[in-house]
């Protein structure tokens, strides 16, 4: 695996491209990373360093924003037939994967077609329909619920699609309490670990970088779960992102910021792309 320690293209290239009103896919996607880190400093004076760090981060967030626009535009113009073929292929690959079949608990997103996310309907209904006679045999499913605009997202347990309501962000989410008025189980307080996290995103690369929608919800949750698993001595869950072909970009295109968490593998319509040593071991 390439270690994506280099986080951004040169400030000059960024300023040139972000100062235009219109971004072409090739202009954004052709950037190469420079060997500078997110905490690059330009002076020995502490305050000066702080300013240059902040300015550098701001530049990187601008790059992320520009890349999001390009990918959103590409997703919008994707042929609907191709989209549904890719949705089918990706979900079939997940449903047939040994890491999916063997997992006992997982967090997955509820896809939103307006956001042009890879569909998860088949995967979720497969889980929720399985073992109707014995719920204990079922995979335990947790899905996201946004709590506020301050990056707080919980993953709550659901057992049927009727548990879901439309959120203010127009995404299906679980209500915090179930039909009997009981608080839903939060994965961060569960007694058992989950083995798998199925992640959405806007762009990905083959070194595990993931560009989200800019809310910081997933990176914050992933870092909390990573900490929890360490504290409890649990195996870290596999972090697998689902990606249309058009969302996979060249290495060096997705700038990294300090809180970004890398994924272990991608599932694209052409198959699983293992990235981390754990994923390489599981997939071969």
Ligand X SMILES: Nc1nc2c(c(=O)[nH]1)N(C=O)[C@@H](CNc1ccc(C(=O)N[C@@H](CCC(=O)O)C(=O)O)cc1)CN2
Ligand Y SMILES: Nc1ncnc2c1ncn2[C@@H]1O[C@H](COP(=O)(O)OP(=O)(O)OP(=O)(O)O)[C@@H](O)[C@H]1O
Asked if residue 108 binds ligand X (CB under 6 A), the reply is no
**Of 89, 211, 263, 273, the one binding ligand Y by CB under 6 A:** 211
**Interface pick for ligand X out of 91, 111, 247, 253 (rule CB under 6 A):** 111
The 10 Å Cβ neighbour count of residue 140 is: 21
Helix (H) or strand (E) holding 127: helix 121-129
Tell the smallest beta-carbon distance from residue 185 to ligand X (Å). Answer: 18
Alpha helices in 45-117 (DSSP H): 46-76, 80-96, 98-101
Q: Figure out which of the listed residues 121, 223, 245, 270 binds ligand Y, where binding follows CB under 6 A.
A: 223
Contact between 146 and ligand Y by CB under 6 A: the answer reads no
Q: Is 194 left (phi over 0), alpha (psi -120 to 50) or beta?
A: beta
- Alpha carbon distance 236, 193 (integer Å): 9
Give dist(CA 54, CA 6) in Å, integer.
17
Our finding on whether 260 is near ligand X (CB under 6 A) is no
Degrees to nearest 5, angle at CA 244 with 241 and 150: 50
**Min separation Cβ 237 and ligand X, Å:** 17
Contact between 217 and ligand X per CB under 6 A:
yes
215 binds ligand X (CB under 6 A): yes
Q: By beta-carbon distance, which residue lies closest to ligand X?
A: 217
Residue 75 as a binder of ligand X (CB under 6 A): the answer is no
Q: What gap in Å lies between CA 146 and CA 84, rounded to an integer?
A: 27
Q: Tell me the β-bridge partners of 8.
A: 34
Minimum gap (Å) between residue 254 Cβ and ligand Y: 10
Q: Which residues of this protein are in contact with ligand Y, per CB under 6 A? A: 64, 151, 211-220, 223, 257, 259-260
Which chain residues interact with ligand X by CB under 6 A? 72, 109-112, 115, 117, 144, 146, 153, 169, 171, 200, 212-213, 215, 217-218
């Amino acid at each position: 695996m390439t270690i994506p320690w280099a986080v951004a293209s040169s400030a000059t290239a960024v300023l040139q491209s972000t100062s235009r009103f219109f971004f072409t896919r090739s202009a954004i996607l052709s950037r190469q990373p420079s060997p500078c880190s997110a905490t690059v400093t330009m002076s020995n004076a502490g305050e000066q360093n702080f300013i240059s760090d902040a300015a550098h981060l701001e530049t990187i967030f601008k790059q992320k924003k520009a890349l999001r626009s390009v990918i959103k535009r590409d997703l919008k113009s994707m042929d609907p037939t191709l989209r549904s073929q890719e949705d089918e292929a990706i979900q079939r690959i997940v449903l047939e994967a040994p890491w999916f079949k063997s997992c006992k608990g997982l967090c997955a997103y509820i896809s939103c077609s307006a956001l042009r996310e890879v569909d998860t309907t088949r995967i979720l209904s497969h889980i929720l329909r399985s073992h109707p006679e014995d719920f204990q045999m079922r995979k335990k499913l947790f899905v996201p619920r946004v709590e506020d605009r301050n990056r707080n997202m919980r993953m709550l347990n659901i057992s049927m699609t009727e548990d879901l309501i439309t959120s203010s962000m127009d995404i299906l989410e679980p209500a915090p309490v179930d039909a009997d008025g009981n608080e839903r189980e939060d994965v961060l307080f569960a007694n058992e670990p989950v083995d798998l996290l199925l992640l959405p995103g806007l762009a990905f690369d083959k070194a595990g970088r993931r560009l989200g929608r800019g809310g910081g919800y997933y990176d914050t949750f992933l870092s909390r779960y990573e900490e929890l698993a360490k504290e409890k001595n649990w195996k870290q869950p596999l972090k697998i992102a689902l990606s249309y072909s058009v969302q996979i970009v060249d290495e060096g295109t997705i700038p990294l910021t300090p809180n970004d968490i890398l994924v272990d593998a991608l599932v694209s319509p052409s198959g699983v792309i293992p990235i981390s040593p754990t994923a390489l071991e599981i997939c071969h």
